A = this chain, B = another copy of it.
Amino acid sequence: MSGLLYAIGEVSRITGLSVKALRLYQEKGLLLPSRVDPSSGYRYYTERDIAQAHTLRALRDLRLSLEEIRGVLEELDQGASLSEHLTKVRARLADEAASAQRSVLALDTLLRHQEQAEAYLRAPPPLLERWLPGMRVAVHRARGRYSDASQVFPRLLAACGPKVGGAPFCLYHEAEYREDDADISWCVPLPPGARPEGVQVEELPEVQAATLVHTGPPDSVGPSWARLFAHLHAHERIPAVPLRETFLRVGANEAVSSSWRTELALSWEAKHGG
């Protein structure tokens, strides 16, 4: 029979959902008490309702919004495949997690470089959207870490001869931050007609990107990257690889932070069928 009825306070104690939350879920149609006394308005819940409440709680603990929970509950009721809604939720949460993680890394940078941080916060560099022109580059692609630049660029520059077509840059082919083992292309733009030997040459297409010029040593770019990602996010654009760091001015010394100048460029995915 299981005709047992539970008052709202008991359900709250059993499920760990607050009384306020239970009333809200009723109002939203997510969890209807099986019986509501017409004269007193008291809510009474059955065992089945409590099971539903537990489900709801499990989903809420996974940080689903009430709307998302509604979708999953309906799919559960109809025995449809869960994957449709859950895949979207996963994407949203992965986005959230990545964003928070980037902010943490950026804050670590700010905390490590105190004076740098004050300068950055007092006058954060302007953010511009522009087209990065297509160009021909000498390129060396490998897995490694940023600091390999000091070995790679001299080799590339030597192969290119005395004239180059612009500031050297790196392309990062994965969006996640990784200390080492990143998939990097080191690139040197070539002047028209140049035919360097012993290096690979590639033609890069033009691409639209959000860009800013960061001032400071190489390991202080975190907050600037976070800004670029936040900018795209605010405009509902999906960041695309590769990320580009162009070394406009390279300092001899990490201590003289203003002697470093790096342009960061983040492009985004073209709209599908747009």
Contact = CB atoms under 8 A, between A and B. Distances in A.
Given A82-B114, A123-B54, A61 B230 contact: yes
Interface stretch (A91-99, A136-144, A146-154, A184-192): A91-99
B107 A96 contact: no
A161 interface: no
A90 interface: yes
A218 B88 CA distance: 25
A184 to B, nearest CB: 24
Interface string A67-95: 00000100010000111001101100110
Number of copies: 2
Interface in A93-145: 93-94, 96-97, 99-101, 103-104, 106-108, 110-111, 114, 117-118, 120-124, 126-127
Contacts of A227: 58, 61-62
Contacts of A82: 110-111, 114, 117-118, 121
Interface residues of A, number: 50
Given A76-B118, A226-B62, A107 B124 contact: no
Contacts of A54: 123-124, 126
A251 interface: no
A16 B233 CA distance: 13
Given A55-B124, A61-B227, A93-B103, 20 more contacts: A54-B123, A54-B124, A55-B122, A57-B124, A58-B120, A60-B230, A61-B226, A61-B230, A61-B231, A63-B230, A76-B121, A82-B114, A82-B117, A82-B118, A82-B121, A87-B111, A90-B111, A94-B104, A97-B97, A97-B100
The 7 closest A-B pairs by CB, nearest first: A97-B100, A61-B230, A58-B124, A90-B107, A97-B101, A96-B100, A61-B227
